[in-house]
Structure 1
Amino acid sequence: MIKDTMNANENVKPNSREMAVLKGNFPSCFNVDGSFDMERFKEFLSDKVTVTGEGYGLKFLGKNYARLLASVDTTTVVVSDEEHNLKPENVESENIYISGDNLDGLKHLLKSYSARIKCIYIDPPYNTGSDGFVYNDNFTFTIEDLSEKLSISEEQAQRILDLTKRGSASHSAWLMFMYSRLLLARDLLTDDGLIFISIDDNEQSNLKLLCDDIFGEDCFLGNFIWKKRQMVDSRTKNGVSKDHDYLMCYGRQDTSRIRGKASDKSKYTNPDNDPRGDWMSADMTGLATASQRPNLHYTIKHPETGVEYSCPKTGWRYERSRMKELIENNEVIFPSEPTGRPRRKKFLKDVSSGFTGFSTVLDLPVYSTQGTREVRELFSNKEVFDFPKPVEYIKLILEQGMKEDDIVLDFFSGSATTAQAIMELNAKDNGNRKYILIQSPERCEKKSEAYQCGFLSINELGCKRISLASGKIKEEYPEATVDLGFKHFTLVEPQQNTLDKIEKFDPNESKLFADKTLLNDFGKPTILTTWLVRDGYGLTANAEEVDFAGYKGCYMGKHLYLIDSELPNKAIEEIVVKYETDGGFNPDNIVLFGYSFTWTEVEALKINLKRLKDTEKNLRINFDIRY
């Protein structure tokens, strides 16, 4: 568990994640000693990929440090808020709210939700140079550690630590902060998944280069502009009113695409009972002058009246032969007056998609003041959160990236606008979209109205907003049967005295005695929740409690979890009998909380389960003792 993670982290390098991918896909390129054979790897690229020595990209202080942070596993545990999660409105919910550092949260999610998130939306802190963003992390690398792990000088290591430990709002600090998180976020997206990032002018250009580095330039879909301010601000020092924000969008792969806006089918009718179905009138005017495209400049003659219609200044959209074909097929609508302009019938059946293109200028008459008003109305006219995004703005984004049963992730949750947007979309179309939100327990300032209302941290406020929004949606959509609850989890670092006991515990010297205090320190529900996520079952999985002669084990899929101490021989015998007699009980892995068991208990379990190899099931069980 924690000790295993800490030991594994000792050997982590900045490129550990990338090397694991290479080893998984190109195992033959690794030698016996673990070294990577570049020449053999080049053979795989031969005739398929052009390798160039030229390069262009973003470099900043701490980039390799950010890669290292993305590779190091988290030592936090996942604590379920049982009082909240067992309430009737939440017990069956598949929505998730995580209170904790989003870097840790993303690492936990990757173990269960890798390549499962269809849409990510984040509104990260804008680096305005003020105290709105200050980088701080709780990693305890020494100068010597960083110098060795990153292969840099101690002077460079000191500069990086200065950014992380003293707090910084520099460009390098912001990029370092974002880089590690976006690296992890990319791996959570489905193959056709999309990520949307809100940003302002201060880091927009750097974010573009950062995302090019992580997602690839060919996965860039667009940089949208949202007019967030309705009225021009005349109070600025330089006379420039900053009225817009950017919304940057990337796909997981270069085949990802924006959904677009739904086509307006109400424009299609069939006034002449055309057997081809409903149609609408479409313009046939071209975009080229006579000198540019002479073949698109000609007059059109009505086939029955002989009336000729002059060519527009920019020509027609079609050449003569194609226009003749359209006229013969009764696809051209002729006006009653010679001064009018012929138009084309556009049939609904020929529309390849139910969606139109999506402009990079967001056509949305919704401004930031609406977001403030929405939160104020939920919280009894209290100004508890500054500059939340409007619900309609988030809805527009989500409609581009997900369908009615996808998962959205927001790991800078803030006031939880994303949750409200998802619930409203589901209530409107009876969808089953699910959300996962992560918000750090950032303290509310004592002078703030949020603090005066009893909210000590932003995550508390976010949870409350979801509950208030749920009540509002129930009133507006009384017939809706959608999921309006959520499961709440907190990421917790073990206390120092717990870490001290973990550090001192030696399985080789503790063969006769278990350390029951560590089970008490963590608690069985926390250990089980953390393991279920680690083993790919997610945060909403419910393990089955199984009684083995009074000893309570937990069974889920391919895993049987033994966490409680004192495993008697009678319980071991019951486990074996369960394997032999219950056809639906076939866990391949028995996972033990190592601190709870003596060497004698573990050996007795192993010896008794060996006899299952000789049965009809011929089971080969993996023993996983976690510390």
Structure 2
Amino acid sequence: MEFSKVQKEIFNPIAENVKKLAQLFPAAVKDGQVDLEALKAELGQFESVSEKMSERYELGWVGKEEAKKLANQDVVGRTLKYVPEESKHPETTENLYIEGDNLEVLKLLRNSYYNKVKMIYIDPPYNTGNDFIYKDNFAMNQRENSALEGEIDEMGERLIVNQKSNGRYHSNWLSMMYPRLKVAKDLLKEDGVIFISIDDNEHSNLKLLCDEVFGSNSFIGDIVWRSSDNSNNNALTFSEDHNYILVYAKSPDWKPNFLNNDSKRQHFKNPDNDPRGPWFDGNPVNNPGLRPNLQFDIITPSGKLIKHPPNGWRWSKETIEEKLKTGELRFSEDETRLIRRTYLYEMKGLPPSSLCIDLEITGHTRRAKYELKKLFPEVPVTSLFSTPKPTLLLKYILTIASDNNAIVLDFFSGSATSADAVMQLNAEDGGKRKFIMVQLPEVCESGDYGNAVKLKNICEIGKERIRRAGDKIIEENKDKKGIENLDIGFKVFKVADTNIRWFSEAMKSDQMTLDESAMTDKDRLDFTPGFTDLDVVYEILLRHRDIPLSSKVEKVASIGERTYIFADTVLVCLEENVTESMIDKIAAIEPMPTKIIFRDSAFGADISLKTNSMLRLEAQMKKNSGLKKKAYRVEFI
């Protein structure tokens, strides 16, 4: 009997891509390796020597190859540690707040949320020359980091000021953004979309970078958002009153939700008491593209001739005749034009505009500062965020890009505006949208503001904002039916070192630390100092495809004090000794788990005990499943 180990890797993107390639082009993948020449032949590309040496159009920068490698590297020896004491309503919430380097977090989430995120919004550093960017050299020690004029946050993560005097000013920023966008794309659903705020500093480079990551055909639009409600009178050239929001979709076929805006439909009237309701004359009757087969002239009832538009009519002759009968089309009084009548009841909505200049709809930066000030009246928090985003802007984006059950991700979450907007919109339309906020705990100015929470880093601000904003939304909507069901909670996780000893290359020393001295022999063998059973369970959860991190984790006390089940499907038995009684109870669980995980050390060196226990489990599983035989797996830590 062979026994499987819990996989060490969380997600291997290269292996996934090779597997997809093998399905499309079997001849191009041999023994798990890609034959590039064979692949080109499959695609009909037969290059001459001169063509192979020719230059190609692409975005290049110093460090690009390293950025590509980084995007494809798995995260080894890292996990997400659940922090229940900082969470809100953890038993019922489906929202997440995760502290740590967002590249590590995205990679750690890739299994759980692969093709699951409907919408991503990010407001990354704009590379103005003063803001921090992430330094993705995870092997760099503190002394080396300090030599690079860097700072280290509370968790030891690396940040550097990317000054404009730096010869690799743009390259550093691109190397930071590339792997994050590459991994984020894996998380997007096939009908998912990403919105990226940016200004003129890196707008052109970001556009080319996104063309490479998502494909130029997946470019949806470039929204110009009016971020300032007043022009800067001190500007030397132009007053920069706008930012951009680049929009890219996972699929080129993506379409936004159309908008119902009554203010833009005031031109619909019903002066002739048409039984079909308000109408508007003026929509085009010409074809947007050249259609020679629709280039025909029309004879009016009085015999007048109406020439066809240059490209032809929008419909065939038969369809036009039918629309004339129904009244959707009619002739002008002088019978020189064909007029199209559009009824309000037929309108499915208006397409969103690439110009977001209506501050009553999307808000502005100063409004965003007021929102923070109202939530934190005791803290000069607005000085920490010079350009926060208003919730109106995020609600507008959510309205055009999400459905009621969408998972919304923001991995540069800052003051957590995205989370606030998700809760507000859910309160308004009864939606069940879920948010995932990711933020590096960049250190803030320390301060003790009376009885207020000490906001020592940006994550503390973000979490406290969600707590206060959620309570505020409940209070403002207390008379609304069903408001008590609004999810205003969140589970907090923090990036941490692995809890499972054999997952960590750094934990192979036999030297005992003080923390280890309190551990049992088997725990010392299997786990790292400071672990909890719940930490281990969540680390195992991260290695399972399609099981969200917000899934319910329960202790199965009937089996033992160290046995858990998550998502009602994977049982994790961390008991130090496994008895026949435990095996029988595990086999009797309903519904039957799809996977059961034991500790190798629970069976010691007795291979026969392990084999007999698994045979007993199999027999009991068959007995309890009856005629409906169900499949399950067993793995070991």
User: What residue ranges of structure 2 are gaps of 5+ in the alignment?
Assistant: 46-50, 142-157, 164-168, 512-519
SS in 2 for 1:77: strand
Alignment-derived partner of residue 346 in structure 1: 342
Cα drift, residue 18 of structure 1: 3.9
Alignment-derived partner of residue 376 in structure 1: 373
Q: How does 1:91-170 map to 2 (within 5 A)?
A: 91-130=91-130, 132-140=131-139, 168-169=162-163, 170=169
Alignment-derived partner of residue 159 in structure 1: none
Task: Choose the corresponding residue for 2:541, options 532, 536, 549.
Answer: 532
C-alpha contact (below 8 Å) 1:77/1:527 kept by paired residues: no
Task: Choose the corresponding residue for 1:358, options 333, 339, 352.
Answer: 352
Alignment-derived partner of residue 403 in structure 2: 403
User: What residue ranges of structure 1 are gaps of 5+ in the alignment?
Assistant: 143-163, 507-511
Aligned-partner Cα distance in 1 for 2:107–2:26: 25
C-alpha contact (below 8 Å) 2:584/2:617 kept by paired residues: no
Aligned-partner Cα distance in 2 for 1:280–1:407: 38
Task: Choose the corresponding residue for 2:596, options 575, 580, 590.
Answer: 590
Cα drift, residue 227 of structure 1: 1.4
* Residue-by-residue CA offset, 1:180-233 (whole Å, 9 max, x unaligned): 100110011111111000001111111111111110010000111011122221
TM-score (norm 1): 0.78
C-alpha contact (below 8 Å) 2:507/2:528 kept by paired residues: no
Alignment-derived partner of residue 252 in structure 2: 254
Cα drift, residue 62 of structure 1: 1.7
C-alpha contact (below 8 Å) 1:199/1:247 kept by paired residues: yes
* Residue-by-residue CA offset, 1:318-362 (whole Å, 9 max, x unaligned): 8997887755543467899x89998542134654xx222222111
Amino acid in the other structure paired with 2:255: R
- Does residue 611 of structure 2 align to residue 606 of structure 1? yes
Task: Choose the corresponding residue for 2:491, options 466, 487, 495.
Answer: 487
Alignment-derived partner of residue 197 in structure 2: 198
C-alpha contact (below 8 Å) 2:499/2:536 kept by paired residues: no
| CA 334–279 in structure 1, closer or farther in 2 if over 3 Å, else same | farther
- Does residue 74 of structure 2 align to residue 70 of structure 1? no
Aligned-partner Cα distance in 2 for 1:108–1:602: 34
Cα drift, residue 443 of structure 1: 0.6
The worse-fitting range, judged by mean Cα deviation, of 529-538 and 443-452 is 443-452
Alignment-derived partner of residue 624 in structure 1: 635
Aligned-partner Cα distance in 2 for 1:254–1:597: 52
* Residue-by-residue CA offset, 1:108-142 (whole Å, 9 max, x unaligned): 21111111100000000110122x12442351179
Aligned-partner Cα distance in 2 for 1:423–1:602: 53
Task: Choose the corresponding residue for 2:573, options 559, 562, 566.
Answer: 562
Cα drift, residue 4 of structure 1: 8.5
Aligned-partner Cα distance in 2 for 1:316–1:122: 44
Cα drift, residue 545 of structure 1: 2.2
Share of identical aligned residues, percent? 31
Aligned-partner Cα distance in 1 for 2:91–2:6: 32
Amino acid in the other structure paired with 2:539: T
Cα drift, residue 527 of structure 1: 1.1
Cα drift, residue 302 of structure 1: 9.2
| CA 576–126 in structure 1, closer or farther in 2 if over 3 Å, else same | same
Q: How does 1:486-505 map to 2 (within 5 A)?
A: 486-493=490-497, 502-504=507-509
Task: Choose the corresponding residue for 1:572, options 574, 579, 588.
Answer: 579
| CA 15–270 in structure 1, closer or farther in 2 if over 3 Å, else same | same
- Does residue 212 of structure 2 align to residue 207 of structure 1? no
Amino acid in the other structure paired with 2:583: V
Aligned-partner Cα distance in 2 for 1:609–1:31: 36
SS in 2 for 1:538: coil
Aligned-partner Cα distance in 1 for 2:239–2:286: 35
C-alpha contact (below 8 Å) 1:79/1:526 kept by paired residues: yes
Aligned-partner Cα distance in 2 for 1:413–1:29: 41
Amino acid in the other structure paired with 1:542: K
C-alpha contact (below 8 Å) 2:214/2:250 kept by paired residues: yes
* Residue-by-residue CA offset, 1:59-106 (whole Å, 9 max, x unaligned): 112222222222222232222122244x5x442011111111111111
Alignment-derived partner of residue 239 in structure 1: 237
Alignment-derived partner of residue 81 in structure 2: 79
Alignment-derived partner of residue 477 in structure 2: 477
Root-mean-square deviation over aligned CA pairs: 4.4
Amino acid in the other structure paired with 2:414: G
| CA 328–540 in structure 1, closer or farther in 2 if over 3 Å, else same | closer
